[in-house]
Structure 1
Amino acid sequence: MSANTREHDIVLLGATGFVGRFTAAHLARSAPAGVRIAIAGRSRQRLEKLAGELGVDWQIVQVDTADAADVARMAASASVVATTVGPYLRYGLGVVSACAAAGTSYADLSGESAFVTRSIAHNHDLAGRTGARIVHSCGFDSIPSDLGVGLAHAAVGGVPIVAAVLRVRALRGGISGGTIDSLRQQLKEAESDPAVRRAIRSPYALTPGPSARLPYGSGSGWGKDRASAAWQAPFVMGAYNQQIVQRSNYLTGWGYGQLMRYREVVMTGRGARGAARAAALTAGTAALVGGLAFPPTRALLDRMLPAPGSGPDADAIARGRFALDIDVYPVEGEPVRTTISAPFDPGYGGTGVMLGESALSLARDDLPEHAGVLTPMVAMGEVLADRLRANRFTIAVAPLG
C-alpha cells in the first residue's frame, strides 16, 4: 500500500502521556495544513479530551499495544507512526515490528540498548524489503549527538574521523518518570540476560559484524579537559548515544572511520568548585544506575523517584534549555565544531519538537532512499536539521578555533 493511500499521514501513539502531550502540542502548532494526523492510545475519552484542549479535529485511534491485531491495523493505516509509549522493551517491540511489516515509517524516543538491538535483529531486513524507515531515538536521545557528528563529518569533506567528543555546556531540565522506568526495566532485564548486559556496555551493540575497532571501556570519564583546564564528568546518556552515532557510522559503510572514538561529557567548570561538581555528578550517576540495578536499593529508589507518566511542573519545564558542542577531529584537515542549542527543556519541550519534526519529515520530505532500522542522521540528516532550525534550534557547524 503506497503512503498516499493510507488513512493517516501520522499517528501519534501515546499522545496523552507526559511527553506525548508536548509532541501533540507541537504538531498542533506546526504541522502544515493538509497533514492528516491521528492520536492513538487506550482511552478514547482521554484522547478526545486532549484533542479538545488543543483545538484540533484529529481522528482518534483506540489501540491496546498488547493486542497484535489492534497494532497491525494502526500500522497499516498510517504513513508514519510516532510513539512515546515506553519502556519500549516492554511495550514497543510489537509496534515497531508491525510498522516494519506494513511498510510504515516509525519514530520513537527510545534510549534502550536492549530494545534497539532486538529491533535491528527482528526488523532491519524486513523493513528494507517493505521500504519502512524505522528510526529510533528521535528525541534528546539521540538527535543532537547523531546530527552533531554527522553534520561535522560532512563539513570536513567526509574523510575519516580520529575522535569526536560531545560537551554539554548547559543543561537545565527535569527527568521524567518514563525515563527512569526505561532505565529500571533495562537493568532488570540485564540481571538475567548476559546479552542485555553486553548491549548496555558496548559502543558497538548496534553495529553487527566484525570490524577492526578499538577496545573500549576504560576509566570513569571524570577528569580535567586539557585544552580548557575545565573539569568534566561523563554524561549519563553518553553510553547509549555513542551506540547511535556508531550505528550511523556502520550504516554509511563506516564512513566516519572504523577507528573513530566517540564520547560525551558534561563540563562542570574550573578550579576546586568544578572538580567537586564533576566528582559529585560522576558519583551520583553511578549511584543511580547501581541502585536501580540492585533489587533491595531499587525498591527504596522506587519510592523516591518520579513514577511513570509523571514529570516536573510547568514552571520548571518553561525554564529549560540546553547547549552542546560536538567537536570532530578528522584524520586530515582542521577540526570542526557543531553547536546545538535550544530554549527548551531537553526531555520535554525540546524532545516534543524533535519527535514531532521527525514524524513530519518522514511523512512529507524527499528523503534519501534508505530503508531498514536507521538513525536520525542516516534517515533524515540535514533535512531534519533545517526543520529544527525553523523551530528555534541553533544548529551550526564551524571551524574549531
Structure 2
Amino acid sequence: MFVRELTLHDFRSWPQIHLDLQPGTTIFVGRNGFGKTNLLESLFYTATLRSHRVSSDAPLVRSGADAARIVATVENEGRELTVELTVAAQGANRAAVNTRPVRRTREVLGILRTVLFAPEDLALVRGDPGERRRFIDELVAQLRPMAAGAKADYDRVLRQRSALLKSAGAALRRGGDQADSVLSTLDVWDGQLADLGAQVTAARLAVLGQLAPHVVAAYASIAPHSRPVRVSYRSAAGSAVDESAGGDGAVDDIRAAIAEQLAAVRTKEIERGLCLVGPHRDDLLLELGDDPAKGFASHGESWSLALSLRLGSVELLRADGVEPVIMLDDVFAELDVARRTKLAEFTASADQLLITAAVAEDIPDQVVGRRIRVGVVDDDGARHSVITDDETIGVRETTGVRETGGVRDTIGADEEVGDVGRGARDDAE
C-alpha cells in the first residue's frame, strides 16, 4: 500500500500543495514549525478521521478559511482509490471516494492504513489514560471500521447522558414529576450507553488481544536486558470485562457488566454530575515486570515501550493482510543511536516510508531516499508553508508554479522563500 498523490487546500499551514509520491522512502526536511508534520497529519487524518495532535478538527483548517480539503490517492495491490475529505471549521465534514460522495465520513476508513511514530508517543506510557484509549481506538478504526461507528455513537450518547447528570441532582431534590422524568430518561440513556459501550469495549479487547504478542516481541528485541512487558485492559465495569477476549461474541456479557455497574454507581454519578462507567473511563495497563510502566519505567524503557506499541501496530496491520504506510514524525531526534538503528532496520521493508526531520543529520545513514525541503513564505503578513529548493532535487520554476521532483505548490512568481516563521496556528489542544 502506498499514497500516490496528496493534495491539500487550506490544511493548517498549507494553502495549497500537490505531491506526487512513490513507494519507498521520502524525507521531508525543515525547521520546527515550518509545516512538514502537517503533511503527515493529513494522511493520518485520512486513515483514522482524527488528528494525532489535537482533539478537535477546527485547528486543522487554515486561519481565515471555512474548510480544509484533503485528497489522497491510495494504491493497494493494483487497486486505486481516491479519498476526498472536506474538514469544516464549523459544522459537518464531508467525504467522497473516487469523486462519489459517501453518506458518512467513516465510510472512508480502511482505504488507507498507516502507523505514525511521533514524539508525542512518550505520552502513551507516561500520559493520562486518554492517550492510551486514543491509541487503541485508532487501531480499531483501521482494523474494524464498523466499530468506529459505534464509538462515534457512544460519544454522542455520553455527552447527552453527562448533560442530564449535571442537572439530575437538583431535579431529584425538587421531587415530583420532574424527578420521575429524570430517572426514566436516565434509564433510557443507561441502556444506550451500556449497549454502545459494550460494542466499543469488545472491539478494543479483540484488537488488544491480537496486538499484545507483537508488543511483547518488539520490546524484547529493542530492550533485551529490560524486564518483560505486559499489556492488559482495565475496565471501569470490573474484572469480568478485563478478562474477556472481546469480539462480537462477548458483547452481551460486557453489556450486562456495564449495566450492572451503572446501576451500582447511579447515586454517586448524580452527586458528582459525572458518568463514572464506560469505555471513556477505561485504560490500557502497561507493566514492566511487576510494576506499572507509568511511574516506574526509566526514560529509556518508556521510549522502548512506546516504540514497541507502534512496531506492534505495524505487525498487527501486516498480519491483517495489508502493508501500512509508515510515517516517522521527527522521532529519530528523540532516540539514542541503538533505538535509531532498530527503528531504521524495522521500517526499511515498508512499502512506503514517510519521514520528517528538522535537520538531515538526524536521519540514520542507512535511511536513503528522496528528500524534500519544507520552508515558509510571508505573503503580506500571512505566513504559509511551501516546498523549497534542496540539494538533491532539481527545481524548475514556471509562471506561478514551482515543480520540485514531482511536487507542485502554487506560489507567486516573484516570491522569495522565507527561512523563519510559522504558517500554522498553534497546535496546543
TM-score band by shorter chain is: under 0.3
Q: Structure 2 length as normaliser, TM-score?
A: 0.25
Q: Structure 1 length as normaliser, TM-score?
A: 0.27
- The structure carrying a bigger strand percent of its residues is 2
Greater Cα radius of gyration, structure 1 or 2: 2
